[in-house]
Amino acid sequence: MPLPDPAAFTRRQFLHSGLVMASAAATLPAFLQRSAFGLPMPALGMSSIPGVPEDHILVVLQLSGGNDGLNTVVPFGEDEYYRRRQGIAVTQQQALRLDARANGIGLHPALAPLKEMYDEGLAAIVQGVGYPNPNRSHFKSMDIWHTADTSGTGDGWIGRYYDSQCCGFGKGESGTPEQTQTNPQPGIAIGRTAPLAMQGRRLQPVAFETPNLFRWTGQDVHESLHEPYRAITTAGVPDGADANSQASFLMRTALDAQVSSDLIRRAVAQRPLVQYPGSGLARNLAMIASMIRAGLKTRVYYCDLGGFDTHAGQGGANGQHANLLRTFAEAVRAFYADLKAQENDKRVMTMVFSEFGRRVGQNASGGTDHGTAAPMFVLGPMVRAGLHGEHPSMRDLDDGDLKFRTDFRQVYATVLERWMGAPSKEILEGTYRTLNLVRA
């Protein structure tokens, strides 16, 4: 019988012996330190043209798991808040007071770095953001936020932005790709996979957890593999070959992958200009800042911070949820300090969201269950700092849940229209009233 027999497979599985080639890996010089790639690079620190929409960058930060909005932007003026959250409420003394306009509303004390940004005019808070008929499944609600569609199906909203804007480049001269890049630079997601939000039709996003994975690892086996690998993957499409064939498509993509890998890995090898905290989120934002500094043409970056599904023992001013908020606030504070030192801060807007907030009342496990509306943050020197929208009512509830005041797609529409210079109606497939979040 010619086809594999299962016993043979099992035998192969247990064939043990040492590896020869793989053992050389540890002694190899880092890929990044090699210089003989022969591929042109754009100059690092390439000039930016502030104020030109083509230079505007959006960073999307996702707080995964459902961030407890009421313990983030705290309605400390409401008795009802304290009545329903006896074990986990942030006290009036602990809450960080915002300003005179923010009557009875404050920030969780772990958000002190964010409060500093707020005071410096770098933070807009949109209160009570949600959508009609809220879905309390993590997956489904995340899909809804990612697709900007209450059915949670279809392409991602950022993917549709790329589709509508010719691959993420604005119109006009400064939006054309560098000659060194065979294709425009797609959006970059820091993570194992690119989020649904970035899935479009014309240009696939790049995703990597660490830049060390965004490269061929075969060369770690033996250094002499490096040059032949370069040769076969960067050959491009041979003259006379059918440019539309599958092989040509693959050869072009292989070349793009090499160019992107080199650019990105070279970019993030720079030391950040400021000291970042030690968290994973801080590391990821530092990578994004480095890519911006290196002059990548990428217009949208995506990263996330997980762990917000605080069903049990979430704590109040201290504890599990407080730690998450601190991680978040310290990381974005350092990110903007870095961007400012690069003089790129005015080009970079950061939008922060979570798939839902949590229920008003705490549960029997000292935590909170999946709920509805929650605040969003929009950060950067271009924002109209302050509180936007209304805090959801603590009394007019929908089966124990907050009613949303602002549709999240209004925030998307604002970011698209007022920051990215893109038509929100076409991209969001609907008309959403923009908010006054961005300074003229």
Partner 1 sequence: MQQTSTRSPTSQVRPEAFGYDQARHLLWRAGFGGTPEQVQTLVSWGPTKAVDYLLDAEKVDFREARADEFNSSIMRPPTMEEQAAIRRARQTQDENALAQVRLEQQRRQRDDRRQAREVQRWWLARMIETPRPLEEKMTLFWHGHFATSYRTIEDSYHMFQQNRMFRAHALGNYGDLMFRIIRDPAMLAYLDNNDSRRDRPNENLARELMELFSLGVGNYTERDIKEGARALTGYTFRDDEFYFDQGNHDTGAKQILGVSGNLDGDGFVRAILARPACSRFMCRKLYAFFAAEPPDSDRELTRDASGVLREMASDMLRSRYAVKPVLRRLFLSEHFYSPEVMGQHIKSPTELVVGAVRSLLTPARDLSILLDAMDLMGQSLLFPPSVAGWAGGRAWINTSTLFVRQNILAYLLTGKRPQGYDPLADEQKYDPAPLLSGLDESARTDPSRVIDYLLRFTVGSAPTHARATLEQFVASHGGRVSNDMITGLLLIITAMPEYQLT
Instruction: Out of 108, 115, 146, 215, name the contact with partner 1 by CB under 8 A.
Output: 215
Instruction: Out of 283, 311, 384, 403, name the contact with partner 1 by CB under 8 A.
Output: 311
Instruction: Out of 63, 111, 148, 251, name the contact with partner 1 by CB under 8 A.
Output: 251
Instruction: Out of 51, 97, 229, 439, name the contact with partner 1 by CB under 8 A.
Output: 229
Establish if 212 lies at the interface with partner 1 (CB under 8 A): yes
Establish if 46 lies at the interface with partner 1 (CB under 8 A): no
| Residues 133-172, mask of contacts with partner 1 (x by CB under 8 A) | ------x-------------x-------------------
Site residues (CB under 8 A) for partner 1, limited to 323-342: none
Q: Which amino acid is at 83?
A: R
Count of residues touching partner 1 (by CB under 8 A): 70
Establish if 182 lies at the interface with partner 1 (CB under 8 A): no
Establish if 256 lies at the interface with partner 1 (CB under 8 A): yes
Instruction: Out of 101, 231, 271, 395, name the contact with partner 1 by CB under 8 A.
Output: 231
Nearest-angstrom CA–CA distance, 400 and 59: 33
Establish if 395 lies at the interface with partner 1 (CB under 8 A): no
Q: In this complex, which beta carbon is closest to partner 1, that of residue 149 or of residue 330? A: 149
Establish if 20 lies at the interface with partner 1 (CB under 8 A): yes
Closest CA to 182 of 261, 120, 260: 260
Element (H, E) at 352: strand 348-354
Establish if 225 lies at the interface with partner 1 (CB under 8 A): yes
Establish if 240 lies at the interface with partner 1 (CB under 8 A): no
Beta strand extents in 64-158 (DSSP E only): 73-74, 96-97, 106-107, 123-130
Relative orientation angle of helices 246-268 and 280-293, to the nearest 10 degrees: 110
Instruction: Out of 41, 52, 221, 341, name the contact with partner 1 by CB under 8 A.
Output: 221
Q: Which amino acid is at 104?
A: G
Angle at 12 between CA 7 and CA 14, to 5 degrees: 100
Phi, psi of 150 (to 5 degrees): -70, -10
Nearest-angstrom CA–CA distance, 321 and 298: 32
| Residues 186-205, mask of contacts with partner 1 (x by CB under 8 A) | x-----xxx---------xx
Closest CA to 419 of 435, 397, 408, 395: 435
Q: In this complex, which beta carbon is closest to partner 1, that of residue 234 or of residue 270? A: 234
User: In Å, what is the CA distance from 343 to each residue of 50, 282, 348?
Assistant: 10, 19, 10
Nearest-angstrom CA–CA distance, 323 and 303: 18
Site residues (CB under 8 A) for partner 1, limited to 355-384: 363-365, 369
Element (H, E) at 411: helix 408-414
Q: Are strands 348-354 and 374-379 parallel, antiparallel or unpaired?
A: antiparallel
Residue 344: alpha-carbon gap to chain centroid: 18
Q: In this complex, which beta carbon is closest to partner 1, that of residue 201 or of residue 425? A: 201
DSSP 229: H
Residue 276: alpha-carbon gap to chain centroid: 17
Contacting positions for partner 1 (CB under 8 A) = 1-6, 9, 12-23, 25, 139, 153, 186, 192-194, 204-210, 212-218, 220-222, 224-225, 227-229, 231-233, 235, 238, 245-247, 249-251, 253-254, 256-257, 260-261, 311, 363-365, 369
